[in-house]
Amino acid sequence: MNWQGKWITSSKDMGDLVPAFTKSFDTDKEIHRALLYISAIGVYEASINGLPVTDQVLTPGWTAYRYRIQYQTFDVSHLVSQKNTIEVTVGKGWHKSPLMGFEKSSIQQELMAKPTALIAELHISYTDGQIEIIPTNDTWTYCESAIRFSEIYDGEVYDASFDSQKAIKEPVTTYNMTRDILVPDEGEAIKEIDHIHPSHILVTPKGEYVIDFGQEITGYVELTLSAKSGDLVELSHGEVFDKEGNFYNDNYRDAKAKLTYTCSHGVQKYKPHHTFYGFRYVRIDAFPGGPQSATLENFKGIVVHSHMERTGHLSSSNPDLNQLFDNIIWGQKGNFLDVPTDCPQRNERLGWTGDAQVFVKTAAYNYNVENFFSKWLKDLALDQKDNGQVGFVIPDVLNEGGSSAWGDAATICPWEIYLAYGDPKILEDQFESMKKWISYIKDHTTTPNLWTGTFHFGDWLGLDAPSGSYKGSSREDLIATAYYAYSTSLVIKSGRILGQDTSYYEDLYKAIVSAFRAEFTEFITQTECTLAIHFNLAKDCQAVADQLADMVIKDGIQLRTGFVGTPYILHALSSYGYTDLAYSLLLRKEYPSWIYPVTKGATTIWEHWDGIMENGDFWSRDMNSFNHYAYGAVADWVYGVAGGIKPIEAKPGYEEVSISPNPDKRLDWLKTSLNTKHGLIRSEWKKQGQSWRYEIETPVKARITIAGHNQTVLPGTYTFYSPIQ
Phi, psi (degrees; rounded to nearest 5) at 115: -80, 160
Q: Which is nearer to ligand BGC, 154 or 355 (CB)?
A: 355
Number of residues that bind ligand BGC (CB under 6 A): 9
Q: What is the DSSP-derived secondary structure letter of residue 538?
A: S
Q: Which stretch binds ligand BGC (CB under 6 A): 129-137, 340-348, 566-574, 705-713?
A: 340-348
Cβ-based nearer residue to ligand BGC, 17 or 358: 358
Smallest distance, Å, CB 469 to ligand BGC? 12
> What's the closest the beta carbon of residue 563 comes to ligand BGC, in angstroms?
7
| Cα 333–Cα 339–Cα 344 angle in degrees, nearest 5 | 55
Distances (CA, A) of 709 to 180, 703, 705: 58, 10, 5
The per-residue DSSP string of 457-470 comes to: --SBT-TTPPTT-S
Nearest distance from C-beta of residue 408 to ligand BGC, angstroms: 13
Cβ distance to ligand BGC smaller for residue 409 or 659: 409
Q: Does residue 607 carry a catalytic annotation? A: yes
Identify whether 395 is preceded by a cis peptide bond (ω within 30 of 0). Answer: yes
Q: Is 28 exposed, middle or buried (0-12, 13-18, 19+ CB in 10 A)?
A: exposed
Residue 661: is the preceding peptide bond cis (ω within 30°)?
no
Minimum CB–partner distance for residue 346 and ligand BGC (Å): 8
CA angle 445, 448, 450 (to 5 degrees): 70
Least Å distance between CB 19 and ligand BGC? 33
Mask: binding to ligand BGC, 605-644, rule CB under 6 A, as x and -?
A: -----------------------x----------------
Annotated active-site residue in 87, 348, 370, 416? 348
Q: Judged by CB under 6 A, which stretch of 141-149, 346-354, 486-494, 688-696 contacts ligand BGC?
A: 346-354
Select 421 or 457, whichever has its Cβ closest to ligand BGC.
457
With CB under 6 A as the contact rule, which of the stretches 34-42, 300-308, 348-356, 554-562 interacts with ligand BGC?
348-356
For 15-75, strand residue ranges (E) read 19-26, 31-41, 43-48, 51-52, 69-75
Per DSSP, helices labelled H in 463-502 are: 476-497
Identify the H or E element spanning 282.
strand 277-286
The answer to whether 288 touches 227, Cβ cutoff 8 Å, is yes
- Residues 349 to 378 in contact with ligand BGC, rule: CB under 6 A: 352, 354-355
Q: How far is the CB of 65 from ligand BGC (least distance, A)?
A: 21
Cβ distance to ligand BGC smaller for residue 198 or 401: 401
Angle at which helices 526-534 and 541-554 cross, to 10°: 150
List binders of ligand BGC among 239-278 (CB under 6 A).
Answer: none
Smaller CB distance to ligand BGC: residue 325 or 457? 457
Instruction: Tell which one of 121, 239, 342, 416 touches ligand BGC (CB under 6 A).
Output: 342
Nearer to ligand BGC by Cβ, of 342 and 383: the residue is: 342
Q: How far is the C-alpha of 281 from the C-alpha of 55, rounded, in Å?
A: 26
Per CB under 6 A, 457 contacts ligand BGC: yes
Judge whether 110 counts as a catalytic residue. no
Which H or E element spans position 552? helix 541-554
Cβ–Cβ < 8 Å for 533, 544: yes
Nearer to ligand BGC, 274 or 608 (CB): 608
Amino acid (one-letter) located at 48? I
Strand 155-159 to 258-262 pairing: parallel
Distance CA 22, CA 134 (A): 12
Of 387, 333, 377, 328, whose CA–CA distance to 353 is shortest? Answer: 377
Binding test (CB under 6 A) with ligand BGC, winner from 65, 248, 460, 509: 460
Closest distance of CB 611 from ligand BGC, Å: 13
Of 348, 383, 396, 459, the one binding ligand BGC (CB under 6 A) is: 348
Q: Shortest Cβ distance from residue 483 to ligand BGC (Å)?
A: 14
Phi first, then psi: give them for residue 272, nearest 5 degrees. Answer: -60, 150
Classify residue 723 as exposed, middle or buried by CB count within 10 Å of its CB (0-12, 13-18, 19+): exposed
Q: Which residues are tagged catalytic?
A: 348, 607
Q: Give the binding site for ligand BGC (CB under 6 A).
A: 342-343, 348, 352, 354-355, 457, 460, 628
